[in-house]
């Protein structure tokens, strides 16, 4: 009497030996692994129900329909001789094409031609082995699912306790209500670093322009984290997240939702009667389609691609800014304006032009940033002269490195570390009068706590300033979370658990 194991082996053998066509299974197998592969590698970008629906449609339902329909069409007498090649070709083509979509944005015509050739060769020479390929595709999908489940479980069950404030700041009441502009030029290094060292030759034209318009500069200011998501999720929660204990290499958990949907900073402004505005050149912070918690936004979720980097051609931000400034003049407003220049050097080695090439590219982007900021400040100065305006970069430009991902290996060079974390901070205080405690403006995590102290007059809020340390997470033999700059800005190398 055969055992259950023997029965299973026999059923598997029968499946492989059967000549029965399996278009539905071929469609599922072709799309399932690419879908799970993308979720595994980009979960924080696709962790929405809308993304699940989109990927189910594009990666599963459409491949099934294509396999079934084309197989039926091939029953035509004129095409019957090609029928045995049809399903193998479609399966391999869809599988490889969807993997290409997961790995590379854009059309990549040459790559598509290569995929057609591979699928065609398989169909002609190895079509009898289609079911073995389907089994292999399903095994890959099972492995990917095994890897994905813990990621989903950890994120769904991670505690937001780290966001809890130590005092009453979330219920603070403002005693003055100027419009507040929080302008963030990505990767703009602090003026105290520009023009020397790694940034020799960088023009300081913006520094003088801002001084002429009443801004105060804060030399030595720095970010607490080296990426936009990690830095902003700390800034808008007014708390150090320390990478949530190493859960992610680039951000706090659910960073985009924290920044765009709901955070203590946004709620404080709303509680004090402010109308809130999000204006961005690119939809980078909206990639996972978070609910937009700002009252107004120049980008709608329906305009955000389901697959992409969110770093395409920049949008016009001046037109929506002019519109928002001129409306609701009797209501105080908060603006979060995200600019993408000068940015930082290329992320990956394959895209790098080397240290000097990346430096030149950053210098060119610096000029673009200066032009945009001057235009924006000119508008605000003319239309809203009593506003509180903050220009704060999210991190440095990484000049001096070949590519930005080199930060995941230990670095102890002072200039390189400051190239990563040094970020510009300039503030135009109403009536050009800075508070005495503005010397506490040291790092991005405490900026809004200090601004709320100024707007409320409640200096007890300064008793709970966060640690001003700057942190990086390493992947090499020193794997872990490390403090690179201490509270005073000194270069250190201290594991977080110490």
pLDDT in tens, 51-101: 999 999 999 999 999 999 988 887 776 666 777 888 999 999 999 999 999
Structural tokens at position 474: 């390493």
Residue with tokens 């801004």: 215
Res 158 pLDDT > 80: no
Please, where in the chain does CATH 3.40.720.10 lie?
Answer: 180-495
pLDDT on residue 244: 81
Going by C-alpha positions, the residue among 176, 112, 144 that lies closest to residue 38 is 144
Count the helices and strands in the chain (H runs, E runs).
15, 10
Token representation of residue 216: 């105060």
202, 361 Cβ separation under 8 angstroms? no
Predicted local distance difference test score (pLDDT) of residue 251 = 56
Contacts of 11 (CB under 8 A, 6+ apart): none
457 against 128, higher pLDDT: 457
Q: Which fold has domain 180-495?
A: Alkaline Phosphatase, subunit A (3.40.720)
> What Å distances lie between residue 312 and 291, 305, 309, 316, CA to CA?
21, 11, 8, 13
For 458, the 3-state DSSP assignment is coil
Kind and range of the H or E run holding 472: strand 470-474
Q: Do the beta carbons of residue 294 and residue 277 sit within 8 Å?
A: yes
Q: Give the pLDDT mean for 326-337.
A: 93
pLDDT score of 246? 63
Q: What is the pLDDT of residues 184-216, one digit of tens each?
A: 999 999 999 999 999 998 989 999 999 999 999
Beta bridge partners of 279: 337
User: In the predicted model, is pLDDT for residue 2 greater than 70?
Assistant: no
Distance (Å, whole) CA 272 – CA 172: 8
Residue 191 tokens, joined: 């003026």
Give me the pLDDT at residue 7, please: 61
Show the tokens assigned to 438: 């503005």
**What per-residue confidence (pLDDT) applies to 145?**
94
Is the distance from CB of 255 to CB of 160 less than 8 angstroms? no
Determine if residue 41 is left, alpha or beta; phi over 0 gives left, psi from -120 to 50 gives alpha, anything else beta. Answer: alpha
Give 412-438 pLDDT, tens digit per residue: 999 999 999 999 999 999 998 999 999
Q: Tens digit of pLDDT for each residue in 292-329?
A: 999 999 999 999 988 888 888 899 999 999 999 999 88
Residue 4 in this model has a pLDDT that exceeds 70: no
pLDDT (mean) for 128-141? 92
The reported pLDDT for the residue numbered 3 is 58
- The SS3 assignment for 414 reads helix
13 pLDDT above the threshold of 80: no
pLDDT in the model for residue 362: 95
Full strand arrangement of the beta sheet holding 491-495: 470-474, 480-485, 491-495
By C-alpha distance, which of 39, 229, 285 is closest to 152? 39
């Amino acid at each position: 009497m055969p055992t259950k194991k023997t029965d299973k082996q026999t059923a598997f053998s029968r499946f492989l030996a059967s000549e029965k066509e399996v278009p539905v299974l071929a469609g599922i197998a072709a799309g399932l692994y690419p879908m799970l592969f993308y979720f595994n590698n980009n979960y924080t970008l696709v962790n929405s129900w809308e993304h699940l629906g989109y990927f189910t449609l594009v990666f599963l339902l459409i491949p099934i329909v294509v396999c079934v329909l084309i197989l039926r069409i091939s029953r035509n007498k004129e095409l019957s001789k090609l029928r045995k090649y049809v399903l193998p070709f479609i399966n391999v083509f869809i599988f490889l094409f969807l993997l290409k979509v997961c790995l590379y944005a854009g059309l990549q015509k040459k790559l598509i031609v290569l995929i057609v050739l591979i699928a065609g060769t398989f169909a002609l020479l190895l079509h009898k082995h289609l079911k073995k390929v389907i089994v292999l595709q399903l095994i890959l999908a099972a492995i990917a699912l095994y890897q994905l489940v813990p990621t989903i479980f950890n994120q769904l069950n991670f505690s937001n306790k780290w966001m809890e404030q130590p005092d009453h700041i979330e219920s603070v009441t403002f005693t003055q209500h100027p419009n507040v502009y929080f302008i963030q030029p990505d990767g703009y290094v602090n003026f105290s670093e520009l023009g020397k060292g790694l940034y020799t030759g960088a023009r300081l034209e913006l520094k003088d322009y801002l001084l002429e318009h009443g801004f105060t500069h804060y030399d030595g200011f720095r970010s607490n984290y080296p990426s936009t998501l990690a830095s902003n999720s700390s800034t808008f929660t007014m708390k150090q997240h320390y990478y949530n204990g190493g859960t992610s290499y680039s951000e706090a958990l659910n960073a985009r939702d924290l920044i765009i949907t709901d955070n203590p900073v946004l709620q404080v402004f709303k509680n004090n009667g402010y109308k809130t505005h999000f204006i961005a050149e690119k939809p980078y912070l909206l990639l996972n389609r978070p609910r937009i918690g700002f009252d107004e936004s120049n980008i709608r979720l329906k305009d955000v691609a389901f697959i992409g980097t969110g770093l395409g051609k920049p949008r016009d931000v001046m037109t929506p800014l002019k519109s928002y400034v001129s409306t609701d003049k009797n209501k105080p407003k908060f603006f979060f304006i995200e600019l993408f220049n000068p940015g930082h050097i290329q992320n990956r080695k394959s895209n790098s032009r080397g240290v000097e090439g990346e430096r030149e590219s950053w210098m060119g982007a610096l000029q673009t940033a200066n032009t945009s900021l001057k235009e924006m400040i000119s508008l605000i100065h003319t239309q809203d002269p009593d506003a509180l305006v903050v220009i704060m970069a999210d991190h440095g430009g990484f000049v001096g490195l070949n590519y930005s991902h080199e930060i995941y290996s230990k670095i102890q060079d002072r200039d390189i570390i400051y190239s990563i974390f040094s970020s510009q901070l300039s503030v135009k205080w109403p009536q050009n009068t800075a508070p005495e405690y503005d010397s506490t403006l040291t790092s991005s995590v405490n900026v809004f706590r200090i601004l709320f102290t100024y707007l409320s007059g409640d200096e007890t809020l300064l008793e709970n300033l966060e640690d001003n340390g700057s942190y990086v997470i390493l992947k090499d033999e020193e794997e872990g979370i490390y403090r690179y700059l201490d509270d005073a800005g000194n270069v250190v190398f201290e594991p977080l658990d110490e």
